[in-house]
Structure 1
């Protein structure tokens, strides 16, 4: 299910294959369902709270929804690319933080690896003047991390020049089988870093 809420507008798209015994126009094809307002009537579709869209309008509605998703810049795995600046599910108080994708590479073993910087955070760091780190220059993360963390494309940016040092260190260790990548949420990565650097 794909839920998209825009002000008072709610679009819910569900694509399911027609099953034997279902009465639907264009039976045997994938059919688009949408919530039916008002009282429900008898029948499997009605009991589920869904109704069948007409086959002609199905593709139009799907294309409209995908266009809206593209317009709003919502995260899609196929869209992640170098130079993108994304909003993400942040920790409380860091709502203006952003994820910058500096570099994308592919590993035969792990698939796509995204080298990100996390900007404008508030990480307690007793090791520096001021006691706060605001930029975390390099994390190697999986596509799954981005899929479950990123929310909206905010713009584009040149790579963070400070990511290179961390990347080179990671790359040397990774090529020797001594380093991996993060698969947890970006906010959890930030939490882990803060916890680590504040250990006695």
Structure 2
């Protein structure tokens, strides 16, 4: 029997103790580095240094792993924004904290539109928004629609921020007769501060419209 000690470092594949939160965090990392199209149970397992079978003790499907990732991101949404007395300001601050939670995922955030929401953390965020809306006199379908509109605007701006540079062919614009388009593109400010300002502006417009 060998008495040599195993070298320190990353746990041997299949020996690491994991839980659902760790799977969610690993799923976020895979999405961030490889994108939604490359997400798989085997990639998540490799990120954790375990066998794929080990994941199924905690998540039953890839959709379940996506929900675990959504839970990790939604845990960063600051629900204290709903303690603000001004209803409009609450919605604006909610949009801002939601953007900060999901923007690191960039275009990969589109994966959340492909899987039904099951995780309690996300549902609690939605419930908190609706409870605050109720205190402001907005209930039922209109309140839910406002929530979805704010959420979709946030994801839309995240997508725009990360895809704008590849949306147009600079060569085609330069070779063609498109002077206004050519002059306008460099003027767009897609920095995080500029996008956050737009997130807040759109959210304010939405809440004022109901």
The structure that is strand-richer by fraction is 1
Q: Quick one: higher RCO (CA 8 Å, sep 6+), 1 or 2?
A: 2
Q: TM-score, with normalisation over the residues of structure 1?
A: 0.26
The structure that is helix-richer by fraction is 2
Q: TM-score, with normalisation over the residues of structure 2?
A: 0.25
> Whose radius of gyration is greater, 1 or 2?
1
